[in-house]
Amino acid sequence: MSRILNRRGFVQSVVGAGAATWAGSLAFGAADQAPAAPKGQNQPARRATGLPARGEFVVHNDHVLTMDPVLGDIPGGDVHVRNGEIAAVGKNLSAPGATVLDARRMIVLPGLVDTHWHMWTTFLRSMAGDKPEQGYFPMTTAYGQVMRPEDMYRSTRLAAAEAIYSGITTVNDECHNVRGHDYAVEDIRALQEAGLRARWSWGPYRGIPPNQPRDLADFEALHRDWTKYSNGGLISLGFIWSGIGAITSPASPERFELSRKEIETARRLGVPISLHTSAKENAPPGWIEALATEKFLGKDLLLIHVLGASPEEMKLVAAAGASISVSPGSELRIGYGLTKACAFDEAGINVCVSVDTTPLTGNAHMFGILKLLRNAENAKAFDEFKLTARRALEFGTIQGARALGIDHLTGSLTPGKRADLILVRTDSLNMGFITDAAHLLVEATEPANVDTVVVDGRILKRSGKLTALDPEQVIADAAAALDEVGKRLPRARS
């Protein structure tokens, strides 16, 4: 009871009357298009002042987890970063002229890699309610339908700030509320200003009718002009595919043709594809089998959730070289079932992890997600040793990079790769000192312990503080956007 009261109290204090009426409005449907902005409302958020320059520095005397199978761990090691690249990793490195970052009692590791996150939903944090009509899907649909491009920017910027704060250096921003070209541009802008490495995946929009064709011409235009959006190569383009249903519950012929056209467009352009499929453990069987039958499986496919996959289907995914992104934070919360990460892993599939959506998960605490994943797997197996902390960290770093096709750039501290790394300080009361580094990271680390975050050689968090974004401003802008969006919700008829 107190949790519900707290949630309502929070909603009312931040977003006023708008949010309080959204659930009642669902029975009557929400407007398909956001109305034009009245004068004086939803003023543009303050723009970021720019990203810090890439310097040359040595992270000195820390406990290095390279996540590189050859280099391994280096207690008391150094990492030399120059021109955005990892120049060297080892002990007592000589780098005349480089700034020294004293990292005693810290653990340095590759930045965490998220592989599926609907970042635009972030300002709806913890607003998936306790009744079916207030659940994640109706709630995000109601709000999503009345959002404007600027709201996408503000919500995604909140997500990007949290990502950096929490030690995530790469995201796959699965943008499934692209209601028009400007929605895409504004959502991408938030990533550009934050300085994250990202895949930005072009999706449909909340409330799209099942047989409504998507604006593939606009997707092609984004692809053609991508250098405008790529932030110097930090952000790549992805495609969220609609899928074709299961063998036991196939898509209609009309829907199948639309989906075929979608995937053929993405593949013609060489754009990687993601697909939410067979999400629930008790889903009707045959979703992966349907993809295999139609020859849609491929290495360029990132499958999401897939808790309903049979052992035979896991073999099909492995043979195709596709990856699976698991999001135990949201899967457990929404009732999709227990994770199957170890089963996927044992089948030879590249397993990676994801935040998914903060209306369900509350936050984007990736160390916490890895902890949840490992504990759930051990519980399922009645085995203390089922999933090691180090294997869980691999899911959250190098395997995520592999799933996004960027493991040549990031995912391990290997000389020649781009400098995406984080420093975790261990001198706070929830850690104290270094015992077993991998176990500490998965079991004890909180976002507040992340001292420093480096993306592509730019220091985006230092001494626990963000350097390119102003958290107070980011939060205030997101709260103002939610207030405005809430006022746009159609009111319930009484």
Interacting residue ranges for Zn ion, rule: CB under 5 A: 356
Looking at the Cβ atoms of 149 and 203, the one nearer to Zn ion is: 203
* Cα–Cα distance, 155 to 188 (Å, whole number): 11
CB of 69 to Zn ion, least distance (A): 31
Looking at the Cβ atoms of 57 and 241, the one nearer to Zn ion is: 241
CB of 44 to Zn ion, least distance (A): 29
CB of 138 to Zn ion, least distance (A): 16
* Cα–Cα distance, 456 to 175 (Å, whole number): 23
| Residue nearest Zn ion by beta-carbon distance | 356
CB of 176 to Zn ion, least distance (A): 8
Q: What is the dihedral of CA 82, 83, 87, 89, to 10 degrees?
A: 60
* CA-based nearest residue to 286, from 257, 254, 243: 243
Q: What is the dihedral of CA 344, 345, 349, 354, to 10 degrees?
A: 80
* CA-based nearest residue to 173, from 118, 238, 242, 136: 118
Looking at the Cβ atoms of 356 and 483, the one nearer to Zn ion is: 356
Looking at the Cβ atoms of 186 and 356, the one nearer to Zn ion is: 356
Side-chain-facing half-sphere of 244: CA atoms under 13 Å: 21
CB of 342 to Zn ion, least distance (A): 21
CB of 305 to Zn ion, least distance (A): 7
Q: Which token pair is 305? A: 């959730």
Q: Pairing relation of β-strands 106-110 and 421-425?
A: antiparallel
Looking at the Cβ atoms of 289 and 356, the one nearer to Zn ion is: 356
* CA-based nearest residue to 155, from 364, 329, 10: 364
38 CA to centre of own chain: 33
* Cα–Cα distance, 461 to 455 (Å, whole number): 10
CB of 125 to Zn ion, least distance (A): 15
Looking at the Cβ atoms of 356 and 456, the one nearer to Zn ion is: 356
What DSSP letter does each residue of 56-90 carry, written as one string? Answer: -EEEEEEEEE---TTT-EEEEEEEEEETTEEEEEE
Looking at the Cβ atoms of 34 and 306, the one nearer to Zn ion is: 306
Looking at the Cβ atoms of 357 and 399, the one nearer to Zn ion is: 357
- Tell me 26's DSSP state: G
CB of 118 to Zn ion, least distance (A): 6
DSSP-derived 3-state class of residue 4: helix
